[in-house]
């Protein structure tokens, strides 16, 4: 089939088309001729090479070119470091070339007008962004022929990274404006991760906490880091791999955090971002591409992130380390799958075992009642309304224990009267007769009411549960007054 020559395309338009194509699609610069009129682009995710030829070719020279590609196909794959499934030759401003009797994986296309440009270099993301500002041809050329991986990654349109950033921002706006997330208990309510909630069945929190942030500074720092490292990983890995690294790595970070810290509230995308950093480390190890500039820039970026993380207060280093390990492990599995599927399955089994051990350890840890902690803290700070809100919420959710009623009684005593507090403790003692805290609190209350007989009764019960020195000392004081 012969193609008909119609119009001439300006060289600048071709360079602009290539520039935009490498920005919005998965194609990137591969190599070029010395005269810069033979440009090779590669889509590593699909094993697809596009060779754009802007010099004049005859039908005979084109067939010779195809034969040469066929003869050196293995060499091309070795240089690319992967299997090439499709090879497309795009002839610019040329005519009368045939595609009969071509190999199944080699195709010839002609680009002679703007419709051809749209067909061969068009991309949906490019159409969504609208018309771009025109630049000089040399600007397009320098950008296309730039072999620096980091600069190319930053220039790329990265939909998944932008989507993750957008979700984080939207959730932050919603939770901070309408839900007042500056209150710690509301951060927990909106998906923050705590050991207490997790062991009580809120397993979803190991996922939702990745999208919750404490304040604007926390959000901005994480989004800046996500923009840089997310773009790099999206550039180097397939998109489904990116999602696996980000979310599974973030979840592993949260599980390790729960294993070593059963007190803190964990929120933020930094664990998942550390998983992306782990994926970059894996790429450096397995890809064999050790470009000096790429190594230095990547190392500096990681170092800045780690130093900044160390400077900020209340940083969950366990989640960071866990995310880093998770991202490194998962990304390494992707590489090992290419080389040896047997070892991939061993690694997958090992990961399942590790996660299982983490979960077992989490459930074997003594739980820290975070709601009681904040109810007590607010009460001591004089924030009585906040304290009772948490107490009521704790009881409504079924999270109450004997300490909850101790705090509730203290609130009643402070806001109403000691007798009302006493009623709370006596009623709670019916549910928790062996409660050390309730019996001790009743002993203190009756002593304050000068009812030393009942005070001694409850301090004796307390000592029967736990012979602490403070309890024995209190008993002696009570006996002195009787």
DSSP secondary structure string for all residues of 419-446 = HHHHHHHHHHHHH-TT-HHHHHHHHHHH
Claim to verify: residue 36 and residue 118 sit in the same structural domain: yes
Q: Are the C-beta atoms of residues 249 and 223 closer than 8 Å to each other?
A: no
Claim to verify: residue 211 and residue 128 sit in the same structural domain: no
Asked whether the predicted pLDDT for residue 240 surpasses 60, the reply is yes
What is the b/e burial string over 59-87, where b = at least 16 CB atoms within 10 angstroms of the residue's CB? eeebbebbeebeeeeeebeeebeeebeeb
How many domains are contained in the chain? 3
Of 52, 59, 55, the closest CA to residue 95 belongs to 59
Asked whether the predicted pLDDT for residue 163 surpasses 50, the reply is yes
Claim to verify: residue 424 and residue 303 sit in the same structural domain: no
pLDDT digits (tens, 9 = 90+) for 81-126: 889 999 999 999 887 555 566 778 899 988 988 888 888 988 776 6
Q: 151 in a domain, yes or no? A: no
Report DSSP state, residue 266.
Answer: B
pLDDT digits (tens, 9 = 90+) for 193-203: 999 999 999 99
Q: What is the pLDDT of residue 482?
A: 64
pLDDT digits (tens, 9 = 90+) for 425-455: 999 999 999 999 999 999 999 998 988 889 8
Q: 129 in a domain, yes or no? A: yes
- Confidence band, pLDDT 50/70/90 cuts, at residue 129: low
Q: 225 in a domain, yes or no? A: yes
Please report, for residues 85, 157, 238, the alpha-carbon distance to residue 136 in angstroms, rounded to integers and kept in the order given.
Answer: 34, 21, 32
Claim to verify: residue 404 and residue 265 sit in the same structural domain: no
Asked whether the predicted pLDDT for residue 147 surpasses 80, the reply is no
Q: 152 in a domain, yes or no? A: no
Q: 3-state class of 363 per DSSP?
A: helix
Q: 306 in a domain, yes or no? A: yes
Q: Give the domain-ending residue among 82, 115, 146.
A: 146
Full residue range of the structural domain in which residue 30 is found: 11-146
Q: What's the mean pLDDT when you consider all of the chain?
A: 88
Question: In the chain, how long is the greatest CA-to-CA distance?
Answer: 117
Q: Give the domain-ending residue among 333, 349, 364.
A: 364
Asked whether the predicted pLDDT for residue 2 surpasses 60, the reply is no
Any idea what the CATH number is for the domain that residue 264 is in? 1.20.1540.10
Claim to verify: residue 164 and residue 248 sit in the same structural domain: yes
Q: What is the pLDDT of residue 98?
A: 59
> Worst-scoring range by mean pLDDT, 40-49, 170-179, 324-333, 405-414?
170-179
Q: Give the domain-ending residue among 146, 167, 201.
A: 146
Kindly report each contact of residues 359-364 with a partner whose C-beta sits within 8 Å and lies 24 or more positions away, as own/partner.
359/255, 361/259, 362/195, 362/198, 362/199, 362/255, 362/258, 362/259, 362/262, 363/199
- Confidence band, pLDDT 50/70/90 cuts, at residue 49: very high
- Say what the pTM is: 0.85
Q: What is the pLDDT of residue 97?
A: 59
Please report, for residues 46, 65, 123, the alpha-carbon distance to residue 107 in angstroms, rounded to integers and kept in the order given.
Answer: 16, 12, 19
């Amino acid at each position: 089939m012969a193609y008909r020559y119609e119009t001439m395309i300006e060289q600048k338009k071709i360079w602009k088309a290539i520039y935009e194509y490498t920005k919005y699609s998965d194609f990137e610069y591969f190599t070029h001729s010395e005269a810069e009129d033979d440009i090779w682009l590669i889509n590593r995710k699909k094993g697809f090479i596009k060779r754009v030829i802007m010099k004049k070719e005859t039908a005979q020279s084109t067939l010779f070119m195809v034969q040469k590609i066929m003869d050196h196909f293995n060499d091309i794959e070795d240089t690319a470091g992967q299997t090439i499934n499709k090879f497309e030759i795009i002839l610019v401003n040329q005519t009368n070339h045939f595609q009969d009797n071509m190999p199944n994986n080699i195709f010839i296309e002609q680009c002679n007008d703007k419709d051809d440009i749209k067909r061969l270099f068009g991309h949906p993301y490019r159409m969504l962004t609208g018309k771009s500002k025109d630049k000089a041809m040399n600007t397009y050329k320098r950008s296309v022929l730039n072999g620096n991986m980091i600069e190319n990654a930053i220039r790329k349109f990265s939909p998944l990274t932008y989507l993750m950033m957008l979700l984080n921002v939207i959730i932050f706006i919603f939770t901070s404006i309408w839900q007042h997330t500056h209150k710690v208990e509301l951060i927990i309510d909106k998906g923050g991760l705590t050991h207490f909630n997790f062991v009580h069945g809120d397993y979803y929190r190991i996922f939702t906490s990745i999208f919750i942030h404490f304040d604007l500074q926390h959000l901005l720092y994480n989004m800046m880091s996500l923009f840089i490292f997310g773009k790099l990983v999206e550039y180097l890995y397939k998109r489904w791999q990116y999602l696996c690294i980000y979310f599974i790595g973030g979840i592993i970070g949260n599980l390790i955090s729960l294993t070593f810290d059963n007190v803190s509230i964990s929120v933020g995308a930094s664990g998942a971002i550390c998983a992306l950093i782990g994926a970059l480390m894996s790429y450096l190890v397995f890809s064999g591409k050790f470009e000096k500039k790429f190594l230095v820039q990547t190392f500096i970026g990681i170092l800045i992130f780690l130093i900044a993380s160390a400077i900020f207060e209340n940083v969950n280093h366990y989640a960071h380390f866990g995310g880093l390990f998770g991202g490194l492990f998962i990304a390494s599995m992707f590489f090992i799958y290419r080389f040896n599927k047997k070892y991939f399955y061993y690694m997958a089994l090992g990961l399942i075992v590790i996660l299982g051990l983490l979960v077992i350890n989490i459930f074997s840890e003594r739980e820290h009642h975070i709601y009681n902690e904040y109810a007590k803290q607010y009460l001591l700070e004089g924030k009585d309304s906040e304290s009772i809100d948490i107490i009521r919420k704790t009881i409504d959710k079924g999270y109450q224990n004997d300490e909850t009623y101790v705090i509730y009684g203290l609130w009643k005593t402070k806001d109403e009267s000691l007798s009302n507090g006493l009623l709370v403790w006596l009623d709670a003692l019916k549910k928790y007769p062996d409660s050390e805290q309730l019996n001790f609190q009743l002993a203190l209350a009756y002593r304050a009411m000068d009812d030393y007989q009942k005070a001694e009764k409850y301090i004796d019960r307390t000592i029967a549960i736990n012979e602490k020195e403070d309890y024995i000392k209190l008993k002696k004081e009570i006996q002195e007054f009787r």
